[in-house]
């Protein structure tokens, strides 16, 4: 006999999970196929039902993916309890894994802060470009000096250019102003 959703606490559909986590139905199914998520109940007609605990698990999985953890790394984290005979053993394994992820997260945050600062600086440096009327092909953004300053954000130097006139594709020479 199949348990009712009241018996198992399973009352959320795949669509409910997707909506409440801001993902898609395909993402929920993908995590099922990857072995990270399992429906609490499969009702008549194949409808998958989940609990609030499954919702919390999916939210955690999505957050860990945002930190660029692989599916295998997430599986390992979620299975840390397996094979532990005592609470101290679990605490040691779990603490070690969390310390590794904390260090990784701090490194990622530092990189994100650097990029945030660089993007903000680039936005500010673009101010004079908004009123520039010279065609880009003519001056390659080097004529005004915005890109050639030493404090010019790296992203501007890479995307906008080095400040040198562009190379003519037909002749391999630099275009003159």
* pLDDT tens by residue, the chain, 177 residues: 344 444 557 789 999 999 999 999 999 999 999 999 999 999 888 899 999 999 999 999 999 999 899 999 999 999 999 999 999 999 999 999 999 999 999 999 999 999 999 999 999 888 878 887 777 765 556 556 666 667 888 888 788 765 454 444 444 444 444
DSSP conformational letter for 36:
S
Q: At what angle do helices 71-78 and 87-125 cross, to 10 degrees?
A: 140
Task: Give the DSSP letter string of 118-144.
Answer: HHHHHHHHTGGGGG--S-HHHHTTTTT
Task: Tell me the pTM.
Answer: 0.70
């Amino acid at each position: 006999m199949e348990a009712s959703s009241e018996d198992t606490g399973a009352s959320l559909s795949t669509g409910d999970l997707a909506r409440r986590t801001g993902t898609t139905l395909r993402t929920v199914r993908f995590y099922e196929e990857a072995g990270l998520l399992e429906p609490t109940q499969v009702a008549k007609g194949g409808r998958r039902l989940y609990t609030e605990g499954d919702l919390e698990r999916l939210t955690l999985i999505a957050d860990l993916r945002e930190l660029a953890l692989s599916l295998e790394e997430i599986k390992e984290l979620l299975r840390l309890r397996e094979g532990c005979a005592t609470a101290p053993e679990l605490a040691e394994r779990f603490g070690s894994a969390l310390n590794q992820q904390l260090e990784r997260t701090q490194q990622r945050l530092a990189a994100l802060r650097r990029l945030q600062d660089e993007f903000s600086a680039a936005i500010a440096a673009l101010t004079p470009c908004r009123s520039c009327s010279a065609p880009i092909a003519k001056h390659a953004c080097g004529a005004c000096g915005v890109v050639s300053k030493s404090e010019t954000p790296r992203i501007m130097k890479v995307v906008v250019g080095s400040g040198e006139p562009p190379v003519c594709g037909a002749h391999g020479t630099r275009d003159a102003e």
